[in-house]
Structures are given as structure tokens and as C-alpha cells.
């Protein structure tokens, strides 16, 4: 078995009116190539992160691009020594990134794309308001210097946050995160997909100048040398790597298996951290039934380690927490 796994992350907003019919043959092809991960299909497009042997991942990408609607599908690559995923899922969704505003359609209008090599100049402009569209736990381990953090529990909360901002236009407002429709706004997210929706939403609300980082943080970390970087910290990714830095190399965070949020060494040193059961963020949020389920899962993990076997897991245990960046 290979000791190197290729991970490919990709999405495309494109009308797929027959998306339900695509599911079964796509799942079968991925499984035939020993590729694992999650692919989301919706009328508005496709969103995915998959991993496996290089030949298999490239075969899946070629398979997708054989559909004329996906012929220009772009993807980002990274490598790891451990398998990032343990199952292959192809899911049918209402949206490939959940915002909950049906009238927003990135196939019709989005903000202006900014190449990673041009991003520093844009966000260094004092007249530009930079907004991180990711979830709180993602922002907490890394973001761009000076970016506004809306403290989102989920991406679907972004429209409400935006509409709650005072509609004033002055330099002090820009510094405090208050915006009006004349404000120049630059937005970013992990791979770019959430920004497609968020900039489309701003455009639908009449904002004049809206920009977003093409390819997201991952493309920036892949492209911009560390010595030129304005990125601070690490970038959370929705797979077993947990976080990556420049060059998309896996970094120092682990994952709490209870809440699926990143944990540092300090978190693991906390009395509230119990392997597989809790961390300082979630130690007082679980029901007795959840705790019992987590205890059983950890017991199975421990047994698998003793047998020197990979732990695949109980489907129910991971079903609700295997997700892509759009899911929150």
C-alpha cells in the first residue's frame, strides 16, 4: 500500500440539472480507484475534497472533466503520509455551500477575483475592509493580518451578520468592521467557495466594489513565499491533516473527535481534554448518550490500534461530522 496520498480539493459553480443521476456512477468510479473523501452535488454545481493514490485521484479528475460542463474544473493538490479520509461519499444537496439565500447565484454574479500574488497589495490598502468568512474555530488558529472576524458559528449566519452592520461610511467605521455599500470589501475563505457565495450576496445587496482571494487561503499558502506572507498562524482543513501552513504542509493541530474542532497542545494539557470524548471547548456540551457513543468509539479505536489495523469507525459515529468547508 502506498505511503503517500494525494489530496485534491475542487469546486465549480455550474448548472447540473441532472445532478441526482450523476451520483451512483461517480461513487462507483471513485471506489474502483480506491479514492476516498466527500463529493457534494447540487443543481448549482460540485464541491469536493478527495484523496488516495495519485493514479486514482487523477483518474477521478479526468472522469469529472469528461463532462463538458466540468471541462475547466480547477483543483488544488497536497500530499500526506496518512490517509486523510476513510470513506467515499457522494451526497446530493440543495447547495454546494450552504448560505440559505436561494436568490444568490454565483453563476450569475460574483466579486472580482484577486490572484494570490496580488492579494497583499489589496489588503494592505487602508481603504479596503478585509473580512474572514470562515467559522470562529477556523479563524482562531490563523487568519490574515488585520482581517475582520464576524465570529460566525456557521457560514449560513453571514447574511444576518452583514445586514446587522451599521450603514455608515467613514474611516473609523472601516477600522471597526462597520461598512456601507461604498466600502471596498475583500473577502477570503479556505478554498474560495464560501467567498463565491458571500461576494455574490454582497453584490446582490448593492455593494459596489467586492473582491475575493482566488483559490482561497490554500492557493495563497501554496503560491506566496513565507517571507512575503501576510498570513498569521495555520489554516484549518476539513480532513485528517487538521491544519496546514505554507507549502500546504501539515502543521501542529490535532482534532477533537467529539466536536471536530482543532485542538492545540495546550488544549490537550487541559483537565477538560479526554481523548476521544471532550476538549476545553466542548467538555460541558455533550448529552449522556453522546458521551456513551464517544466512549464506545474510542474503545474500538484502541482495539484497532492493538491489532495494528486501521480504524474505519461506526458509520453513525462519524456520519454527522464528516464535512467540507461549506457545511458550516
Worst-scoring range by mean pLDDT, 123-127, 143-147, 178-182, 189-193? 178-182
| Closest of 135, 47, 197 to residue 328, by C-alpha | 135
Residue 320: band (very low, low, confident or very high) from pLDDT cuts 50, 70, 90: very low
Question: Is 286:272 a contact under the CB 8 Å cutoff?
Answer: no
Rounded percentage of the chain residues whose pLDDT exceeds 70: 89
| Rounded alpha-carbon distances, angstroms, from residue 297 to 158, 274, 302 | 34, 13, 9
pTM for this prediction: 0.80
CATH number for the domain running over 5-96: 3.30.70.100
Other Cβ atoms within 10 Å of 5 Cβ, number: 24
Tell me: pLDDT of 2 over 80: no
Report how far residue 301's alpha carbon sits from residue 10's, in angstroms, rounded to the nearest whole number.
31
Residue 44: per-residue pLDDT: 93
Per domain, the residue ranges of the chain are 5-96, 112-233, 253-325
Cβ proximity of 211 and 114 under 8 Å: yes
Q: Which residue out of 189, 195, 235, 256 is catalytically annotated?
A: 189
* Three-class secondary structure of residue 31 per DSSP: helix
Q: What number is the average pLDDT over the span 241-248?
A: 87
Mean predicted lDDT score pLDDT of the chain: 87
Contact between 129 and 135 (Cβ < 8 Å): no
Express each pLDDT in 84-133 by its tens digit: 888 999 999 999 999 999 889 898 889 999 999 999 999 999 999 999 99
Backbone angles phi, psi at 169, to 5 degrees: -130, 95
Query: Which of 16-25, 248-257, 272-281, 315-324 is predicted least confidently?
Result: 315-324
Question: What is the sign, positive or negative, of the torsion defined by CA atoms of 15, 19, 21, 24?
Answer: positive
Region 211-220: mean pLDDT is 93
211 DSSP 8-state letter:
E
Residue 260 above 90 pLDDT? Answer: no
CATH of domain 112-233: 3.40.250.10
Residue 189 annotated to the active site: yes
Amino acid at each position: 500500500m502506498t505511503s503517500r496520498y494525494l489530496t485534491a480539493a475542487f469546486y465549480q459553480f455550474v448548472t447540473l440539472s441532472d445532478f441526482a443521476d450523476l451520483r451512483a456512477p461517480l461513487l462507483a468510479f471513485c471506489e474502483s480507484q480506491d479514492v476516498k473523501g466527500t463529493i457534494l452535488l447540487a443543481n448549482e454545481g460540485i464541491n469536493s475534497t478527495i484523496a488516495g493514490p495519485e493514479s486514482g485521484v487523477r483518474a477521478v479528475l479526468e472522469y469529472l472533466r469528461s463532462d463538458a460542463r466540468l471541462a475547466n474544473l480547477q483543483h488544488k493538490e497536497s500530499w500526506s503520509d496518512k490517509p486523510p479520509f476513510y470513506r467515499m461519499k457522494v451526497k446530493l444537496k440543495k447547495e454546494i455551500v450552504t448560505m440559505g439565500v436561494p436568490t444568490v447565484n454565483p453563476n450569475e454574479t460574483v466579486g472580482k477575483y484577486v490572484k494570490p500574488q496580488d492579494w497583499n497589495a489589496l489588503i494592505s490598502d487602508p481603504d479596503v475592509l478585509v473580512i474572514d468568512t470562515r467559522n470562529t474555530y477556523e479563524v482562531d488558529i490563523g487568519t490574515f493580518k488585520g482581517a475582520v472576524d464576524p465570529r460566525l458559528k456557521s457560514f449560513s449566519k453571514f447574511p444576518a451578520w452583514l445586514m446587522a452592520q451599521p450603514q455608515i461610511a467613514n474611516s473609523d467605521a472601516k477600522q471597526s468592521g462597520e461598512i456601507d455599500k461604498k466600502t471596498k470589501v475583500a473577502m477570503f475563505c479556505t478554498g474560495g467557495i464560501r467567498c463565491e457565495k458571500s461576494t455574490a450576496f454582497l453584490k446582490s445587496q448593492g455593494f459596489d466594489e467586492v473582491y475575493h482571494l482566488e483559490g482561497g487561503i490554500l492557493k495563497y499558502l501554496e503560491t506566496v513565499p513565507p517571507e512575503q506572507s501576510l498570513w498569521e498562524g495555520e489554516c484549518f482543513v476539513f480532513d485528517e491533516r487538521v491544519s496546514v501552513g505554507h507549502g500546504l504542509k501539515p502543521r501542529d493541530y490535532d482534532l477533537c473527535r467529539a466536536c471536530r474542532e482543532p485542538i492545540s497542545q495546550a488544549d490537550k494539557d487541559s483537565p477538560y481534554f479526554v481523548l476521544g470524548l471532550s476538549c476545553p471547548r466542548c467538555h460541558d456540551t455533550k448529552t449522556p448518550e453522546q458521551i456513551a457513543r464517544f466512549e464506545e468509539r474510542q474503545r474500538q479505536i484502541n482495539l484497532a490500534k492493538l491489532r495494528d489495523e486501521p480504524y474505519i469507525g461506526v458509520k453513525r459515529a462519524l456520519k454527522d461530522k464528516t464535512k467540507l468547508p461549506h457545511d458550516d
